[in-house]
Amino acid sequence: MPTTPSAEIVRLADSTRRLVRTVDGLDEPALAGASLLPDWSRAHVVAHLALNAEAMARGLEGARTGRAEPLYDSPRARADDVEELAHAGPSELRERFLGSAAVLADLLEAMPVTTLATEVEWYPGGMRRQVATFADIRRGEVEVHHVDLATPGYDHTAWPGDFAAWVVATRAAALDADPPFTVYAGDLDRAWSVGGGAEGDPVVTGPAHTLAWWLSGRGSGEGLACDGPLPRIGAW
Rg (CA), the chain: 18
Strand intervals (E) in the chain: 119-121, 128-130, 181-185, 190-194, 203-206, 225-226
> Residue 197: CB partners within 8 Å, gap ≥ 6?
177, 179, 180, 181, 182
| Average pLDDT value for the chain | 92
Give Cα separations from 109 to 72, 106, 187, 196, 224 (angstroms): 22, 5, 33, 36, 38
Q: What is the pLDDT of residues 5-58, one digit of tens each?
A: 589 999 999 999 999 999 999 999 999 999 999 999 999 999 999 999 999 999
Q: Could you give the CA distance from residue 118 to residue 115 in angstroms, rounded to a whole number?
A: 5
236: pLDDT strictly greater than 60: no
Q: Give the count of beta carbons closer than 10 Å to the beta carbon of residue 31.
A: 22
- Polymer length in residues for the chain: 236
Report the amino acid identity of residue 227: D
Interaxial angle between packed helices 90-110 and 134-148, expressed in degrees from 0 to 180 and rounded to the nearest 10: 150
Report DSSP state, residue 41: B
Q: What is the pLDDT of residues 168-183, one digit of tens each?
A: 999 999 988 888 999 9
- Cβ proximity of 181 and 204 under 8 Å: yes
Confidence at residue 71, expressed as pLDDT on a 0 to 100 scale: 95
Q: What is the pLDDT of residues 43-97, one digit of tens each?
A: 999 999 999 999 999 999 999 998 888 999 999 999 999 999 999 999 999 999 9
| Helix (H/G/I), strand (E/B), else coil: 73 | coil
Q: Could you give the CA distance from residue 109 to residue 6 in angstroms, rounded to a whole number?
A: 8
Confidence at residue 2, expressed as pLDDT on a 0 to 100 scale: 44
Give the pTM: 0.92
Confidence at residue 3, expressed as pLDDT on a 0 to 100 scale: 45
Query: Would you place residue 1 in the very low, low, confident or very high pLDDT band (cuts 50, 70, 90)?
Result: very low
Output phi, psi for 178, to 5 deg. Answer: -140, 105
Confidence at residue 234, expressed as pLDDT on a 0 to 100 scale: 65
Q: What is the pLDDT of residues 86-125, one digit of tens each?
A: 999 999 999 999 999 999 999 999 888 888 899 999 999 9
In this structure, is the dihedral angle defined by the CA atoms of residues 111, 55, 88 and 82, taken in order, positive or negative? positive
